[in-house]
A and B are shown apart, each in its own frame.
Chain A
Amino acid sequence: MFAVAWRNLWRNSTRSIVSISAIAFSYALFLVTMGISDSSYTKMEDAAADSAGGSVLIHAPGYWDSRMNDIVMTDPNPALAAVKSTAGVEGSARRVLINGLLSTSSGNVATLIQGVDPEEEKLVQNAGQYLKEGTFLTGDEEDPLVLGSGAAHELNVKIGDRVVLTATNPDGDMERALFHVTGIIHTGSRQLDDIAAYTSIPAAQKSISMAGQLTQIGIVAPRDARHVVKDRLVGALGDKYEIMTWDEAMPEMVSLIEMDAAFANIYGLVVFLVVVFAVLNTFMMIVMERIREFGLLSAIGLTPKQVAALLVYESLLMALVAMTIGFAVGFGIHSYIHAYGIDLTAIYGDVEMGGVVMGDWRLRSEVNVSRWIGATVGVFVLTMSATIYPAYKAAKLTPAQAMRFFQ
């Protein structure tokens, strides 16, 4: 019966090729779209983790919601020790974060100064990569300050100029501190460039009298293990610290990714519903054209189930051929994009999404095995479901009805 079904599939080869092409093309398109989407989400998640300050963040309790200067880790050493001994931690960066006002004779800028160790920071945010002028915290400067390009422009400063920081210290008292502009960075995010400012950890601690204290510890952990690492740290440190993953810190990015994924799934479903109707139409035409033949088959002894099975086999073979071609084409395109990428930087440049700067617009593709299996099963089921009604119609015909059809 399979042999008969296979030959039936090719008796109107043009129509079969068109139907197979529609399924194969849609399936390949679905796989490629999914591969690019998954790669983009990975990139967005990595960028979001970098932007948040790490895959996992440690603060004093209540810091993240308020971002106030007075919520600091007065004794960060237990946290630093726990980070060092926790499995899965690939690196960490200490930070002093100061919300304050930078002033020059030309103007004022509300800012977030980050006191960082440039070596530790290379593993996480690596703001030094955006350096446009000067140096990025070499350790030789006195009271160094690296400003975002927007802030530098607003304050009308250049390398070597002096800037005054006004901010509250952890005790709630107002303090002023003098910094020297040693570098200017340009991230591409207007929001970041307008407020970003970096200094060394000692200079930051000195500026608002928080010697030995830290605001944040940013931790680098494998993408899929961040929640495990967080749980281990919570287990080690209890509730003395606020410990969160980047997605808990930046829910807007998570929503953005989920929304994009939902749209992609709806798009895929719509494409496939169109294909399903095309396949349904094909099989309805097959039934109409071959009514007499089905009558003959019934007359010589095929049961209604066997008549339906013949159509189901034809659909099955069509789906298998189409999906094999679709997979080969889809995987081929995926492999090319995975290896060489598609560079859209010239079109998009640096774009901010959900508060995260996306500067790398070379599209890549990656295989999420469970999603690819899910898509394959979905496409197969949808294609096969298009045969249910035609097969039912063919099985329902009585032989005499069918044999009379063209008389």
Chain B
Amino acid sequence: MAETIINVTGARRTFVQGEVEVHALRGADLKVESGEFSVLAGPSGSGKTTLLNLIGCIDEATAGTIQVDGRDVTSMQRTEGAKFRLDHIGFVFQAYNLLPVLTAYENAEFVLMLQGVPAAKRKEIVEPLMRRVGLGDNMHRKPHQLSGGQQQRVAVVRAIASNPSIVLADEPTANLDSESSKALLDLMLELNREQGVTFLFASHDQMVMDHARRIVRLDSGKIVADEHKNDEEEE
């Protein structure tokens, strides 16, 4: 039986904008198991990114508990949270994913560098991954010399290089054309199948939903549907 990586119980997130309270998440319950390739789907403002941020420990829940890899991330201090993210969570964002002053290779190895992994070991891990995602010839290019799709692939390598418990991807295809989106999602799916990397997306892109094996639909801050595809549907 697969291990539960994420366990969200009654998560709420309320933002105060001026004198108005915005309830971005109104009590969400979610469990994600190891090896899943799932998407939090829903229209803009549905709360999918908010839920992803809470799971990723980069935002604080107003109420509820969130456990990631067996740890309660809602009670973590900022520094503790940063260290937890470094060791347990990989991120792929919609844009501005890479540090512009570093090359593709340096961006890809950045998390490992922060973890204190020696340079030789980093090379041993990152170079095969870069080749695996088709960037073997572009490792020493700066982000502005890469296409949007190539940049996202570098972000994926950075996210998985440290072998995290889960990779969270927030609208990773939002700025990509269809071909690049498909290539990126195919790559992620392959990594999920071949290396068992757990992916959780937040997206309203139909192509992402087509690739996902599980679709958790949100609307107005609530989970309104949880669809599991069987292998035939996925094919």
Contact = CB atoms under 8 A, between A and B. Distances in A.
Interface stretch (A55-63, A169-177, A301-309, A333-341): A301-309
A239 to B, nearest CB: 70
Interface in A148-203: none
Q: Which range holds the interface residue count of chain A?
A: 20 to 34
B114 A398 contact: no
Given A398-B58, A398-B59, A296 B93 contact: yes
Contact of B96 (A293, A298, A301, A304): A293
A293 B91 contact: no
A400 interface: yes
A303 B82 contact: yes
Contacts of B87: 301
B111 A403 contact: no
Interface in B73-88: 78-79, 82-83, 85-87
B149 interface: no
Interface stretch (A4-12, A85-93, A353-361): A4-12
Nearest to B96: A292
Given A296-B97, A300-B85, A403 B58 contact: yes
Interface string A283-303: 000000000110111111111
Interface string A254-269: 0000000000000000
Contacts of A305: 79
A100 interface: no
Instruction: Report which residue of A7, A297, A299, A305 has the largest number of chain B beta carbons within 10 angstroms of its beta carbon.
Output: A299
Nearest to A7: B101
A296 B111 contact: no
Interface string A33-73: 00000000000000000000000000000000000000000
B79 A8 contact: no
Q: Which label, helix, strand, loop or mixed, suits the secondary structure of the A interface?
A: helix
A359 B55 CA distance: 80
B96 A296 contact: yes
Instruction: Report which residue of B58, B60, B79, B93 has the largest number of chain A beta carbons within 10 angstroms of its beta carbon.
Output: B58
Contacts of B56: 299
Contacts of A300: 85-86, 91, 110-111, 114, 158
A9 to B, nearest CB: 9
Contacts of B82: 298, 301-304, 306
Interface of A: 4, 7-8, 11, 292-293, 295-306, 398-400, 403, 406
Interface of B: 53, 56, 58-60, 78-79, 82-83, 85-87, 91, 93, 96-97, 99-102, 110-111, 114-115, 158
Given A8-B101, A298-B82, 15 more contacts: A4-B101, A4-B102, A293-B99, A295-B58, A296-B96, A299-B58, A300-B85, A300-B110, A301-B85, A301-B86, A303-B83, A306-B82, A399-B53, A400-B53, A400-B59
